[in-house]
Structure 1
Amino acid sequence: MFLADVVDASAALAATRSRKAKIATLAELVNQAGPAELPAVVAFLTGQPTQGRIGTGWRTLAELGAAPAEESALTVAEVDAALGEVAGTSGSGSAKRRAETLHALFAAATEEEQRFLFRLLTGELRHGALEGVMIDAIAAAAEVPGEAVRRAFMISGQLPVTAVAAVTGGAEALAGFRLALGRPLRPMLASPAESLEEALAEHDSAIVEYKMDGARIQVHRQGDEVHVYTRTLREITKNVGELVELVRGLPCDSVVLDGETLALTDDGRPRPFQETMSRFGSTREEQVRELLLRPYFFDCLHLDGVDLLDAPLRERNAALHKVAGEHLIPGESVPADPAGLLEAALEAGHEGVMVKSLDSVYAAGRRGRAWLKVKPVHTLDLVVLAAEWGHGRRTGYLSNLHLGARDPDGGPPIMVGKTFKGLTDELLAWQTKTFPELEVRRDDWTVYLRPELVVEIELDGAQVSSRYPGGLALRFARVLRYRPDKDAADADTIDAVRATLKG
């Protein structure tokens, strides 16, 4: 398959808002690709090379200076091989060799192909937000149920691998995916509920648990071997020794647990989220001593040789109680006083509660409403699109943020508002230092960024407005914190913003 075929498909995707049309375009391309090139085709059209980040920045690509080819001749396999060579180059003189490989690649590409490759390598090609559409396209191409593809993707964590299995082996191959100890699973996520009463009314039987302001973790243990992963499947085992030792001490031989971890103050209240996240990138002994992490587990996906992914939550919860002991997250099945549990969670410094159906199986992503989160303060996770230079005491700092919601059909983030409220001096300094590293262009007042950073925004709902492309504007938006544990594919959708519209 030629790169031009992928570029043409990308242009067709960008030209339509129809999810059905996007799925048809992708399914046709998946069917045309051979098994060897299919992983690269799927990876490219979900916004990243098969190698992931290859360590090439915007400035490096901008300075290549390669004149475009007049005719299209590059194949997908050739592009994938070149990017693999770049990713694997290291040692003395590696920067020069990487630049030479990239120059040769871009010189073999037409102008349109160069633009595609530039966006692909700088993270500007939808940044993986096409995953949901691609899953449906793979299902259509392979003529298998979408849920079978989603389940296999949850277990493998790799959409290209899942695509090859679906196309070459169908439903039987997808059903063959099994949880593997030491290979992280994509996490199950929650949808928001307007109130505790609404959440409870949606389920015949449910468990109500604290919703903590911590960092999501997934732990795997087999014998004495322990691995700890973040919600984005990044391994942090070497940075969280206290969690490793704790999991080694649990009464089991093998286990996979889902939970939260956070650092606590001396009186047992949660420390700020940023302090917990700082531990994931540090092994300094003094910081470890000052910020010991405490885990709170809320799901058990495997215990002593038995996989529990397809078991209902009531069974997984029973296994969790057997193994987690004092490290269970606070909660009750069908509590006599759910409002009292919510009040207790808030008084303890947490965000609210989770209401989970005891009949639900474990499924990645916001699929349905099996898990519902109830928070008195309304927040959205949005993508930072740009920042404006400040005025007055903020002169010289990048301040006013342009905010975007995720397009559920895989397009670029949709701008829904701006805010400079809630930015501390520390955050202003951090933004001013960090944002130029993500810069794609600028004018006299604004620095425009690759859509990678996710920020949590507190707001008083949304209102209809023609000022922004989404047809909405945020009301009284205020920055709460950045979310380094999330990427743009985890941001809230434009539909989630619409759900906050004031009457």
Structure 2
Amino acid sequence: MLFADVVAASAEVAATRSRTAKATAIADLLGRAGGNEVRPVTAWLAGDTLQGRLGVGWRTLTRLAHGPAASPRLTVSDVDRALTELAGTTGTGSAARREALVEQLFTGATADEQRFLVRLLTGDLRQGALEGVVLDAIGTAAGVPAATVRRAFMLSGSLPETAATALDGGTTALESVHLAVGRPVRPMLASPGSSLDAVLADLGADVTVEHKLDGARIQVHRDGDVVRVWTRTLREVTDGVPELVAQVRSLPCRTAVLDGETLALDDDGRPRAFQDTMSRFGSDVPDPAVVLSPFFFDLLHLDGRDLLDEPLAVRLDALVELLAGEEHAALRMPGVRRPTPERAAEVLDGALTAGHEGVVVKALDASYAAGRRGRAWQKVKPVHTLDLVVLGAEWGYGRRSGKLSNIHLGARDPDGGGPVMVGKTFKGMTDELLDWQTARFPDLAREQHEWGVLLEPELVVEVALDGAQRSPRYPGGVALRFARVLRYRPDRSPADADTLDAVRALLAGG
């Protein structure tokens, strides 16, 4: 397959807002790809490479993107092979060798192919092919049920591998994908709930109500003495969290897969600032003053038994048994099963009094499923919060003159298109945050204007808001009410942002 076919499909996907049309274009391409081409093609259409970050800067790439080939001649295998060689080039003199490899690749690429490569290698390939769209396309191309594809993806954690498995072996091969200790599972996520009373009315009495911490999601696998830790985005952080490794290694089991959160606590047992917790995931040298405490709320595997398909009630029974005993009791996420509405309110009050965000209400009959699927898990906070994509920023005035201040906020399009603008805010920003935005945003600018900048959709910010209102001003027909910045979320990508549907759910009477 020619590389130009991938570039053309990417352009077709980017040109439409229809989820169905996007999936159809991707499915057609996957159906024409050869066996060794499926993995790289899938990765590229999802905006990634099989080789991960390649360490080639935007300036180098744009400088080398000249003298394009007159007609397409690069194949998918040519490009994938070049990227593999690029990823493996290290050591003394590697910078020059890497630049030579890029130049050689670009020399054989057409102008359209060069532009695609620049965006792909810098992580700026925004074409609206989110995971859900690609998964739909895989199912169509392979002629297999979407639910089977999604389950295999949850268990493998890899879109390219899921595509290759589906197209090579169909339903049988996908159903043979099982949880493997040492390979992270896509995490199950909670949807925002409007209020505790509303969530309890929705899910009924057969629920558990647990604390919602202001921490970082972790998934921990143990196989004998080997313990490995991943974040919500499946980035391995084992070497940076030795205290978590030690605590899981002390549990009375041989193999286990645990799901939970971790955060740093102060001397009084209250949560430290979110930034303190996140500092442990971005440094090779842990700060000894920032000690992480784990709180586990789910158990997906224990001593050879997979628990994914068991109801949450069964998984919690197994977790309670594993964490029995005074030495391990503190590792369990606080919560109450089948509470009365009054007891559930007490759990929420207790979480807030302890300095946490709120609670998560979970249906006890629900199995484990990746992503915001359905409403089996719902989080309740006294103040509505959303994770939104920063689309732009305007220059401030008065005390904020010379600083990029008023930010444009976008919600994720549930149909796979680009983020949909739902409002602006300049509230909640400290002087330090304003300085950071002013320094950081120009590097992400896709357009610069006298009034400010439009950004590539890369940064996710958490905002608090009083609700939403109908508005013809924005394309989604809805606008935020009194939004204010809480913090940026370096642990989340635009694919993790809340959807336009989540904003619409906050409409009065919605």
Q: Secondary structure at the match of 1:137?
A: helix
What is the one-letter code of the residue matched to 1:119? Answer: R
1:206 to 2:210 alignment: no
Distance 1:45 1:57, change over 3 A: same
Following superposition, the deviation at residue 396 of structure 1 comes to: 3.5
Contact 1:253 1:304 in 2 (8 A): yes
User: Map of 1:70-469 to 2, 5 A cutoff?
Assistant: 70-126=70-126, 130-204=130-204, 205-282=206-283, 284=285, 287-288=287-288, 290-324=289-323, 325-326=328-329, 327-336=331-340, 337-469=343-475
In structure 2, relative to structure 1, the CA distance for the partners of 1:83 and 1:471 (3 Å cut) is farther
Alpha-carbon separation, structure 2, partners of 1:102 and 1:441: 26
Work out whether residues 194 and 506 of structure 2, in 8 Å CA contact, stay in contact via their aligned partners in 1: no
1:273 is displaced (CA, Å) by: 1.0
Cα distance in 2 for residues equivalent to 1:211 and 1:190: 10
Local SS of the residue matching 1:63:
helix
User: Are the aligned partners of 1:192 and 1:372 in contact in 2 as well (CA < 8 Å)?
Assistant: yes
CA contact (8 A) 2:65 2:114 kept: no
Structure 1 window deviating more from structure 2 (18-27 vs 169-178): it is: 18-27
Q: Does 1:493 align with 2:492?
A: no
Mark the CA change 1:86 to 1:385 in structure 2 (over 3 Å): closer, same or farther: farther
> 1 CA distance for matches of 2:376 and 2:128?
24
Q: For 1:466 and 1:227, locate their aligned partners in 2 and report how far apart those are by CA, in whole Å.
A: 49
Distance of 1:439 and 1:84 partners within structure 2: 29
Change in Cα spacing, 1:436 to 1:60, as seen in structure 2 (3 Å) is farther
Alignment partners' CA distance in 1, 2:21 and 2:40: 22
Q: CA deviation at 1:366?
A: 0.7
Please give the alpha-carbon distance, in whole angstroms, between the structure 2 residues aligned to 1:471 and 1:53.
37
Secondary structure of the 1:67 match is: coil
Post-superposition CA distance 1:254-306 (Å, at most 9, x none): 11100011111222111121111112223546x22x22111110000111111
Q: 1:24 to 1:301 in 2, by over 3 A?
A: same
Range that drifts further, 423-432 or 169-178: 423-432
| SS of 1:229 mapped into structure 2 | strand
Matching residue's letter, 2:344: P
The answer (yes or no) to whether the contact 1:126–1:410 under 8 Å persists in 2 is no
Separation of aligned partners in 2, 1:109 and 1:80:
13
Going from structure 1 to structure 2, the CA distance change for 1:127 and 1:72 (only over 3 Å counts) comes to: closer
Q: Which TM-score applies when normalising by structure 2?
A: 0.94
The amino acid across from 2:134 in the alignment is M
Q: CA deviation at 1:33?
A: 0.7
Q: Separation in 2 of the partners of 1:370 and 1:195?
A: 15
Change (3 A) 1:180 1:367: same
C-alpha separation in 2, matches of 1:120 and 1:283: 27
Give, as a single letter, the amino acid of the residue that structure 2 aligns with 1:239: G
**3-state SS of paired residue (1:329):** coil
Structure 2 residue aligned with 1:471, among 473, 477, 480? 477
Instruction: Give 1:502 deviation, angstroms.
Output: 4.0
* Distance in 2 separating the partners of 1:342 and 1:310: 28
Give the Cα separation in 1 of the matches to 2:298 and 2:128.
Answer: 27
| Offset at residue 429 of structure 1 (A) | 2.4
Q: Is the 8 A contact 2:13 2:129 kept in 1?
A: no
Which secondary structure state, in structure 1, belongs to the residue aligned with residue 208 of structure 2? strand
Cα deviation 1:93-146 (Å, max 9, x = unaligned): 222222222222223222222222222222222378521011111111112111
Aligned-partner Cα distance in 1 for 2:256–2:441 = 40
Aligned partner of residue 356 in structure 1, secondary structure? strand
The alpha-carbon distance between structure 1 residues 41 and 291, as it changes in their structure 2 partners (threshold 3 A), is: same
1:224 CA drift (Å):
1.4
Aligned-pair distance for 1:237? 1.2
Partner of 1:69: 69
State the distance in 2 between where 1:113 and 1:38 align: 18
1:12-53 superposed Cα distances (whole Å, 9 cap, x missing partner): 222222222222222111111111001111111111112122
CA shift, 1:245, in A, is 1.0
Contiguous gaps of at least 5 residues in structure 2 = none
For residues 184 and 471 of structure 1, the distance between their equivalents in structure 2, rounded to whole angstroms, comes to 38
- Secondary structure, aligned partner of 1:166: helix
CA contact (8 A) 1:129 1:488 kept: no
| Contact preservation (8 Å) 1:127, 1:489 | no
Structure 1 unaligned blocks of 5 or more: none
One-letter identity of the residue aligned with 1:176:
S
**How many Å separate the matches in 1 of 2:466 and 2:115?**
39
Give the C-alpha shift of residue 398 in structure 1: 2.7
Corresponding letter in the other structure for 2:318 = A
One-letter identity of the residue aligned with 2:31:
N
Amino acid at match of 1:386: G
Say if 1:129 and 1:408, in contact at 8 Å, map to a contact too.
no
- Supply the RMSD in Å over aligned alpha carbons: 1.8
Q: Give yes or no for contact 1:122–1:450 (8 Å, CA) kept in 2.
A: no
Deviation larger for 212-221 or 172-181: 172-181
Q: Is the 8 A contact 2:128 2:417 kept in 1?
A: no
SS of equivalent residue, structure 2 residue 64: coil
Contact 1:58 1:440 survives alignment (8 Å) = no
Q: Percent identity?
A: 63
Contact 2:13 2:128 in 1 (8 A): no
CA distance in 2, matches of 1:385, 1:346: 32
* Conserved 8 A contact 1:216-1:261: yes
Normalised by the length of structure 1, the TM-score is 0.95
Tell which deviates more after alignment, 8-17 or 259-268: 8-17
Partner of 2:203, secondary structure, is coil
1:30 aligns with 2:36: no
Q: Separation in 1 of the partners of 2:89 and 2:508?
A: 53
- Note the alpha carbon deviations across 1:463-486, whole angstroms, 9 max, x for none: 333433433332211100111111
- List per-residue Cα deviations over 1:352-378 (Å, max 9, x = no partner): 111111111111101111111111211
Q: Which amino acid aligns with 1:122?
A: T
